[in-house]
């Protein structure tokens, strides 16, 4: 599952409502899940030192602020899909 980062920011120019969900808690849980997820826990090192044949297939992925992004959207590990 992928979520756009702007879903986790407040746009001060738009009328907003009080959200029952705390974005900081969700982001913290996502970061923790990425560290324990078997598929993604070594992704950061793979991006830096992985085989050259993977380089083209990994172009849309990046790692920012301890979050794994695919085309600018936050990657949610499979272990969290049932909780969101």
Distance between CA 58 and CA 47 in Å, rounded?
Answer: 7
Distance between CA 29 and CA 74 in Å, rounded?
Answer: 12
| β-strand pairing of 67-70 with 73-75 | antiparallel
Is 30 within a domain? yes
Among 14-23, 40-49, 56-65, the range with the most confident prediction by mean pLDDT is 56-65
Mean pLDDT score, 50-75: 80
Identify the pLDDT of residue 19: 62
3-state secondary structure of 69: strand
Is 13 within a domain? no
Domain holding 39, by residue range, is 2-7+18-80
**DSSP code of 19?**
-
Identify the pLDDT of residue 20: 66
Q: What predicted TM-score, i.e. pTM, was given to this entire model? A: 0.61
Is 44 within a domain? yes
């Amino acid at each position: 599952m992928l979520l756009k980062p702007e879903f986790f920011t407040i746009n001060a120019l738009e009328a907003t409502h009080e959200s029952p969900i705390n974005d900081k808690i969700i982001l913290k849980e996502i970061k923790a899940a990425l560290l324990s997820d078997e598929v993604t826990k070594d992704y950061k090192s793979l991006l830096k030192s992985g085989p050259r044949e993977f380089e083209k297939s990994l172009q849309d992925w990046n790692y920012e602020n301890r979050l794994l992004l695919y085309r600018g959207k936050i990657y949610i590990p499979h272990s969290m899909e049932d909780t969101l």
